[in-house]
């Protein structure tokens, strides 16, 4: 047990530094992990590949990107009364099959599923409820969001989402080296991978295919400084 809260400026793995009385995933599900590791206020605590990862709150320019996606969904709903999708940001996603717990930047759910979860007052969502997850990278946590390099043989949220068979994963890579959005689809549980991808450079319109059928303006999206 650590005696002081960590000074976290980038995503930090702390498993092995703090002795936990139970698995990190079980404590995350029960809502005990944040307090036990003394995570600073507003920081995100996730369990990725079984390790506790504490990340600082995103900057405004990061959140502005996910806000643009939410706005595109809202506009589609206004234009199409039967538009079936709603968004959730800041909620947890429990991947019980692999013992991971994520907090995606954004999740897209069928409206009926969303309302049922709301009525049930669930604390976290599960993969069967989610059609699309969105992650926008930051300098300190990009490797957790991206597809791992073949050389690293690692495991990231990209693999976790595929194992959980979430149909679509939109990765917005804000690194100056990439500055691209990639939509992954056709998850394969056995290989822990998505089999198809389509990408757009920042400035190009992101076209989410059916069942979403919406376009997202990225003309204001910028990579992080550096």
Angle at 89 between CA 66 and CA 64, to 5 degrees: 25
* Burial of 113 (C-beta count, 10 Å sphere; 0-12/13-18/19+): middle
Q: Are the C-beta atoms of residues 174 and 59 closer than 8 Å to each other?
A: no
The residue-averaged pLDDT of 44-64 equals: 95
* Mean per-residue pLDDT over the chain, rounded: 92
Q: Cα(151)–Cα(132) distance, rounded to whole angstroms?
A: 28
Gap between the Cα atoms of 60 and 222, Å rounded: 12
Residue range 154-181, pLDDT digits in tens: 799 999 999 999 999 999 999 999 999 9
pTM of the model: 0.92
CA angle 12, 15, 20 (to 5 degrees): 135
- Percentage of residues of the chain with pLDDT beyond 70: 90
User: Which among 87, 108, 67 has a CA at the least distance from the CA of 221?
Assistant: 67
Structure confidence by residue, pLDDT tens digits, 105-133: 999 999 999 999 999 999 999 999 999 99
Q: Where are the beta strands (DSSP E) in 66-142?
A: 85-88, 92-95, 100-102, 106-110, 124-125, 132-136
**What does the block give as tokens for 46?**
């996730």
Residues 194/164, Cβ–Cβ less than 8 Å = no
Enter the tokens of residue 13.
């793995």
Tell me what the mean pLDDT of segment 172-196 comes to: 98
d(CA 78, CA 109): 17
Calculate the alpha carbon distances from 29 to 32, 40, 96, 103 in Å. 8, 19, 9, 12
Task: Give me the pLDDT at residue 152, please.
Answer: 61
Domain ranges (residues) in the chain:
12-55, 60-90+103-216
* Range 60-90+103-216 classified under CATH 3.90.1570: yes
| Model pLDDT, residue 60 | 96
* Residue 34: its H or E element: helix 33-36
């Amino acid at each position: 047990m650590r005696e002081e809260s960590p000074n976290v400026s980038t995503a930090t793995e702390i498993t092995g530094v703090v002795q936990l009385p139970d698995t990190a995933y079980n404590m995350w599900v029960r809502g005990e992990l944040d307090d036990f590791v003394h995570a600073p206020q507003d920081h995100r605590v996730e369990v990725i590949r079984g390790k506790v990862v504490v990340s600082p709150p995103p900057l405004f320019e990061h959140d502005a990107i996910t806000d643009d996606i939410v706005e595109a969904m809202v506009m589609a709903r206004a234009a199409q009364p039967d538009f079936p999708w709603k968004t959730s940001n800041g909620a947890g996603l429990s991947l019980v099959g692999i013992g991971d717990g994520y907090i995606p930047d954004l999740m897209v759910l069928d409206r009926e599923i969303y309302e049922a979860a709301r009525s049930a007052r669930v604390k976290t969502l599960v993969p069967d409820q989610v059609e699309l997850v969105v992650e926008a990278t930051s300098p300190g946590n990009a490797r957790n969001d991206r597809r791992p390099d073949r050389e690293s043989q690692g495991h990231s949220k990209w693999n976790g989402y595929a194992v959980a068979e979430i149909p679509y994963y939109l990765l917005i890579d804000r690194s100056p080296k990439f500055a691209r959005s990639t939509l992954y689809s056709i998850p394969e549980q056995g290989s822990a991978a998505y089999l198809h991808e389509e990408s757009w450079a920042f400035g190009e319109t992101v076209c989410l295919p059916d069942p979403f059928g919406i376009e997202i303006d990225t003309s204001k999206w910028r990579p992080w400084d550096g």
